[in-house]
């Protein structure tokens, strides 16, 4: 089986050379994982991006249409938005090399797991993944700002994934710099991410939405800046993620609203002791979360 | 008038050697503002803290009761929680050196401005201030982590403040490393801070309150960490600030709830275009805020 050969002997392809695809390409080079000439390929619909990546020596060969490249790759990173990914898989299913190991980076996993369980070509092994990092500045030009070190990576394996491919991919993820790989189901991923990522982005957007005065930052002391950094969001991608995962996200927003309303009530009624008790509990839980 | 002599000739006193008092002492030393021996004094009820500050050479003389020190200082930084500050001023009003320049660091300003307008000794000049920085780790031991460079500082002058003292203090604040000093009224400060600081702390607390699973951080990608760093709050101080400024804070919570509810509705009803339009507007406003 092809991916069992060491990564040093694999041809690796990246589909979509945006922020994350670019950052993965950079990590594979920088960490000397796919280092020798001729084995790091990428395709992107934007010829300018491919030209830049070739010019900087980040990739060895570039393509603006995927068929030829896919037929040569032992390992493929599919770095596309969720809906684009599903369309891409339908359109190019026949083009992948026999026995190739595929993985993606999309922020939604339940629908991708379900689609791949149903329609993946028998000889291919697709391990859905989600690198938990990013940047409020998107695109290949900002890929170098997307840091992998110390970051989380989630995998949501299919029932059919080969154990040796899973081990191979986990080792590769660690070599790229990620510190912790967590395996779970696609649905559990979507539940958790609705909280740690989507809800946080909605809160940041709401914070900006409720204050028209842009000179308010003269009164910023770090908290406001930290809470709203991610309000500089990639609008099409986040709109898609919010809507695709809306059931989980709406449940999380409601739970958050409940907690906010509770604290608001304690403040309104000047319940000093209960407020302190609640804030001490928050402090304790947050400390436990850091561990 | 005493403070018009250059800071190099002033005896400076710090009341309360906690995180901010300690950070101010460190800045006065590190930036070589109060550098020569014998002129940086501090008092704190904790003899251990005074011992540590003396041992590290951060201060020249330390006290656990304030009277003697106050009688010697040309400039005094009052680094106490709001309610403690008001009690301290009442108790020690007679002890300050004639003509001394006083300033504080409390996160609430309306009530302090009102109290000082009414009851300050005629010869003293008290300029209320609020350095917009801090750390989720409190106390003198963490003072070195409290960075002033590039940070905001708010002053809420009294009608009676002497222009030359205001200029003196602003120059001193810039020399300590702060990049921007904004002057406004105490009430306007409290309105703005309710948004940039208090609301952000309530949101961070609510985010932690609504999720009991501490292993959720395996699914963190930076957003959750950024939004909840400040949930490690100094409980007595923040309880006091939330309650003291509750009218402004409750108004800000309500406005935020309105924006959150609007975004929730767009997601629930799958209003893709309206959601995108709102998120683009948020992105644009956040970008304008950075400038």
Chain A interface, best mutation among B189, B207, B231, B250, by max A CB count within 10 A = B207
Can you tell me the distance from the alpha carbon of A166 to that of A164, in angstroms, rounded to the nearest whole number? 5
Contacts of B216 (CB under 8 A, 6+ apart): A192, A195, A196, A289, B224
Per-residue model confidence (pLDDT) at position A3: 52
Closest to B148 measured CA to CA, from B3, B56, B62, B25: B25
User: Is the pTM for the entire model greater than 0.80?
Assistant: yes
Q: What does the pLDDT look like over B227-264, one tens digit per residue?
A: 999 999 899 999 999 999 999 999 999 999 999 999 99
How distant is the Cα of A123 from the closest Cα of chain B, in angstroms? 31
Can you tell me the distance from the alpha carbon of B274 to that of B89, in angstroms, rounded to the nearest whole number? 54
| DSSP code of residue A195 | I
Query: In this complex, which of A193, A221, A243 lies closest to B132 when CB atoms are compared?
Result: A221
Q: What does the pLDDT look like over B57-73, one tens digit per residue?
A: 999 999 999 999 999 99
Chain B interface, best mutation among A130, A136, A189, A200, by max B CB count within 10 A = A200
Give the pLDDT mean for B24-37.
87
**Could you tell me what percentage of chain A is helix, strand and coil, using 3-state DSSP and rounding each to the nearest 5?**
55, 10, 30
* Cβ distance of B224 and A200 shorter than 8 Å: yes
Q: Are A143 and A23 in contact (CB under 8 A)?
A: yes
Q: Which position has the token pair 């007679």?
A: B94
Domain with residues A2-184, CATH architecture: 3-Layer(aba) Sandwich (3.40)
Closest to A202 measured CA to CA, from B256, B139, B7: B256
Q: What does the pLDDT look like over A256-283, one tens digit per residue?
A: 999 999 999 999 999 999 999 999 999 9
* Cβ distance of A250 and B243 shorter than 8 Å: no
- Residue in B closest to A178 by C-alpha: B221
Can you tell me the distance from the alpha carbon of A89 to that of A115, in angstroms, rounded to the nearest whole number? 10
Q: What does the pLDDT look like over B109-150, one tens digit per residue?
A: 999 999 999 999 999 999 999 999 988 788 999 999 998 999
Q: What is the ipTM of this complex?
A: 0.90
Q: For residue B260, list chain A residues with Cβ-Cβ distance below 8 A.
A: 202-203, 206, 253, 257
Can you tell me the distance from the alpha carbon of B153 to that of B182, in angstroms, rounded to the nearest whole number? 6
- Residue in A closest to B181 by C-alpha: A218
Comparing A13-22, A245-254, B31-40, B199-208, the range with the smallest average pLDDT is B31-40
- B189-290 placed in CATH 1.10.3660.10: yes
Residue A168 CA: distances (Å) to CA of A4, A79, A149, A165: 7, 19, 19, 5
Question: Please, what is the angle between helix B47-55 and helix B19-30, to 10°?
Answer: 20
* Cβ distance of A180 and B218 shorter than 8 Å: yes
* Cβ distance of B243 and A267 shorter than 8 Å: yes
CA angle A184, A188, A194 (to 5 degrees): 125
Asked if residue A213 has pLDDT above 60, the reply is yes
A/B interface, count of CB pairs below 8 Å = 270
Q: What does the pLDDT look like over B280-291, one tens digit per residue?
A: 999 999 999 974
Asked if residue B74 has pLDDT above 90, the reply is yes
* Cβ distance of A231 and B283 shorter than 8 Å: yes
How is residue B272 written in tokens?
């893709």
Q: Residue A47: phi, psi to the nearest 5?
A: -60, -30
Count CB-CB contacts under 10 A for residue A165: 23
- Residue in A closest to B237 by C-alpha: A276
How is residue B103 written in tokens?
């300033």
Can you tell me the distance from the alpha carbon of B248 to that of B187, in angstroms, rounded to the nearest whole number? 10
Asked if residue B1 has pLDDT above 70, the reply is no
Q: For residue A288, list chain B residues with Cβ-Cβ distance below 8 A.
A: 214
Asked if residue B34 has pLDDT above 90, the reply is no
How is residue B212 written in tokens?
């009991």
Q: What is the maximum alpha-carbon separation in chain A?
A: 68
Closest to B154 measured CA to CA, from A218, A211, A222, A213: A218
Residue A99 CA: distances (Å) to CA of A4, A92, A162: 10, 15, 11
Per-residue model confidence (pLDDT) at position A173: 97
For chain A, which residues make up each domain, given as ranges?
A: 2-184, 189-290
How is residue A12 written in tokens?
């690796």
How is residue B261 written in tokens?
């509810």
């Amino acid at each position: 089986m092809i991916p069992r050969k060491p990564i040093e002997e694999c041809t690796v392809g990246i589909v979509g050379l945006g922020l994350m695809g670019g950052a993965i390409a950079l990590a594979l080079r920088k960490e000397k994982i796919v280092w020798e000439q001729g084995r790091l390929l990428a395709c992107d619909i934007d010829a300018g991006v491919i030209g830049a990546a070739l010019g900087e020596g980040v990739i060895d060969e570039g393509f603006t249409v995927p068929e030829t490249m896919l037929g040569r790759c032992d390992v493929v990173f599919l770095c596309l938005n969720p809906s684009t990914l599903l369309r891409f898989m339908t359109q190019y299913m026949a083009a992948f090399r026999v026995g190739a190991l595929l993985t993606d980076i999309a922020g939604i996993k339940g629908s991708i797991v379900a689609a791949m369980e149903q329609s993946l070509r028998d000889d291919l092994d697709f391990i859905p993944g989600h690198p938990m990092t990013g940047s409020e500045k998107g695109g290949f030009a900002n890929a170098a700002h997307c840091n992998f070190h110390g970051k989380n990576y989630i995998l949501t394996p299919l029932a059919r994934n080969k154990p040796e491919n899973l081990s191979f991919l986990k080792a590769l993820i660690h070599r790229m710099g990620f510190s912790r790989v967590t395996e779970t189901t696609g649905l559990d991923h979507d539940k958790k991410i609705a909280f740690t990522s989507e809800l946080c982005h909605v809160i940041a957007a709401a914070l900006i939405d409720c204050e028209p005065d842009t000179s308010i930052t003269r009164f910023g002391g770090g908290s406001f800046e930290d809470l709203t950094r991610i309000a500089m969001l990639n609008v099409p991608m986040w709109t898609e993620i919010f809507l695709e995962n809306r059931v989980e996200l709406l449940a999380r927003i409601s739970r958050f609203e409940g907690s906010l309303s509770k604290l608001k009530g304690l403040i309104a009624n000047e319940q000093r002791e209960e407020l302190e008790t609640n804030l001490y509990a928050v402090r304790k839980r947050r400390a436990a979360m850091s561990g």
